[in-house]
Amino acid sequence: MKQQKLIGVFAATAALALALGGCAANSGTTGEGDNGGGEDTTVKAADYNPQPRENLQEGGEVRFPINEIPEQLNAFNSDASADTSRVAYWYMPQILLVTPEGEVTKNDAYLDDWKIETVDGNTTVTFTFNEKAHWNDGTDMDWTAVENTWIANRSYDEGYNPNATDGYKQITSVEEGDSPKTAIVTFDGEYAWPSMAFLTGGLLHPAINTPDLFNSAFIGDPHPEWGAGPYTIDEFDANAGFISFKPNTEWWGNAPLLDSVSFQAMEAAASLNAFKNGEIDQVGANTKDRLEQVKDMEDTVIYRAQQTAKTIIMVDADKPQFEDMDVRKAFFLAIDIDQQKQIAWNGLDYEEEPAGSLNMYGFQEGYSDSFAEAGLKHDPEEAQKLLEDAGWELNDDGIREKDGETLSVIYPVFGDDPTQEALAKALQAQQKEVGIDLQIEVRPSSDFSSDLTSKNWDVASLRFTDSDPFGPAWFCQLYCSDSGLNLSATGTEEIDEKIHSEVESKTTAEEWTTASMELEPEIIAETWGVIPLYNGPSISVVKKGLANLTPEPYVGLDLFGITPVENVGWEK
């Protein structure tokens, strides 16, 4: 799936994931770079030190920082985050893999065969599981896991709370093939994106077979017995924000190279200190200040890669201040995106074209600037006119009022990164210019997921991070009114119908992509709930010799790559 997840804040198991906004995401990483203070600041598409297993040693440990260990540990659930997916990938099955460029292949450890066909006018996907494939509790891995995953993710109307229904809702049946080891998935007609189904999320154990289990069983409990993979959970401490993994004695594939892998939740400043003290092996360095503190350390490598993530600003139309679409549009027109970029990338020698779509990236074929077409620009004068026409008048303090209420909005900043603080203060000043009182609240990173999903904010900045290159396939996850990712509350049934009739009716990826890019500006102009600010580079400083970095989705060194975790290790 292309699943987009909210980084640092919210999560999705589908194309998009929610993540903490900004430059210093602890897990941020980028490409192969210079040792120490080299001059090369080139951002590559992917930069992750790919190495064959024979070049790597057996044994050792790797310690990663992470923004948080989320409360919701079911990566398929809409309350999960990109961090949920990152943790889950180390002990849950991943039946399909993706190259950095986006080519999908089967994971030979789990699947003997994987084929896509058209049968009687319907797209079918056949999965044939390895005879040895099984779950950690001894349950055989077979067609029932595919069926159970489909049932849990196909609809928002059956009590389940999935991250996205895209790909699953187009399936009409999952049936047993010649044996229980074979699952035959049938779509309704010819489906344009069959590779995305069961891609990022993997599979659900057949035991997770009720809405209550799906929604609640993984809250504060990772359930290693429902996993299957080269690693399993060794230690888990929710209060300490810590999880570690050890080789899984139930694993039947290539042996994991490492003896131990761990993730420790850390604030931005703490992660830098931990790296300098040798307590972790990788740290995000997406700002000049962070990079300066660690770039000259001995035996380290700087990686600079293209992020497959968009830093976004979202407003909550459920809040009375933003019920009026013109007020929401005025808020966005007041934002100086160029200034935000300058602050975010100060000293990084990086530039990019406008991030004009939530649907695609500028480096992808078929992209166009939907937000510019819809009317997004920095225009404080037009913003003030929209607010005045909506009845919001300036008071003596330069803040707008209407019916005795001031136009004041809460904007949380999660974590202690100074660049995030600077970005927030710049946004505050930009809004003050048009009479909007933006109140900044600094909160710990550990509050990100819970605050985001409970909508404990009026305006939020975060990242939509993509798990795969099939952006248009996840169009509904972005803009449908019932999507768990669309926290702006700006979707409508009319837009849902347009998405279904004008986009999801297309039978080829090319036609679907064209239709989605044509419809996106129209949806923006009718909603004004979220805008992208920029994509940006992903920069990390890593201990020398660590190879095959960021195998999980939603992390960022290897572009769209999803690769076997058992191949992460240290060079000989």
DSSP of 161-189: -BS--TTTTTEEEEEE-SSTTEEEEEESS
Res 21: pLDDT = 58
12: nearest Cα among 208, 212, 156, 142: 156
Nearest 5°: phi and psi at 216? -120, -25
The encoded tokens of residue 188 equal: 């309704």
Residues 6+ apart with CB under 8 A from 493: 481
Do 567 and 109 touch, CB atoms closer than 8 A? no
- With a CB cutoff of 8 Å and minimum separation 6, the contacts of 160 are 151, 152, 153, 211, 214, 215
Tens digits of pLDDT across the chain (572 residues): 345 554 433 333 334 566 665 443 333 333 333 433 444 789 999 999 999 999 999 999 999 999 999 999 999 999 998 899 999 999 999 999 999 998 999 999 999 999 999 999 999 999 999 999 999 999 999 999 999 999 999 999 999 999 889 999 999 999 999 999 999 999 999 999 998 888 877 899 999 999 999 999 999 999 999 999 999 999 999 999 999 999 999 999 999 999 999 999 999 899 999 999 999 999 999 999 999 999 999 999 999 999 999 999 999 999 999 999 999 999 999 999 999 999 999 999 899 989 999 999 999 999 999 999 999 999 999 999 999 999 999 999 999 999 999 999 999 999 988 999 999 999 999 999 999 999 999 999 889 888 998 999 999 999 888 888 899 999 998 999 988 788 999 999 999 999 999 999 999 999 999 999 999 999 999 999 999 999 999 999 999 999 999 999 887 799 999 999 999 999 99
Superfamily of domain 309-534: Dipeptide-binding Protein; Domain 3 (3.10.105.10)
Q: What is the pLDDT of residue 23?
A: 43
Which tokens go with 503? Answer: 């986009």
Report which secondary-structure segment, H or E, holds 293: helix 288-294
- What residue ranges do the domains of the chain occupy? 33-92+232-304+537-570, 96-215, 309-534
Q: Rounded to an integer, what is the distance from CA 46 to the centroid of its chain? A: 17
CA torsion through residues 23, 28, 30, 32, sign: positive
Dist. CA 50–CA 54, nearest whole Å: 12
Please name the fold of domain 33-92+232-304+537-570. Answer: D-Maltodextrin-Binding Protein; domain 2 (3.40.190)
d(CA 533, CA 378): 12
Cβ contact 6:19 at 8 Å: yes
Whole-number pLDDT of residue 246: 98
Superfamily for domain range 96-215: Dipeptide-binding Protein; Domain 1 (3.90.76.10)
Query: DSSP characters for 69-138?
Result: --SB--TTBTT--HHHHHHHHTTS---EEE-TT--EEE-TTTEEEEEEEEETTEEEEEEEE-TT-B-TTS
> For residues 41 and 298, is the Cβ–Cβ distance under 8 A?
no
**Long-range contacts, stretch 184-187, CB < 8 angstroms, 24+ apart:** 184/124, 184/125, 184/126, 184/143, 185/124, 185/125, 185/126, 185/127, 185/146, 185/150, 186/119, 186/122, 186/123, 186/124, 187/122, 187/123, 187/124, 187/125
* pLDDT number for residue 197: 82
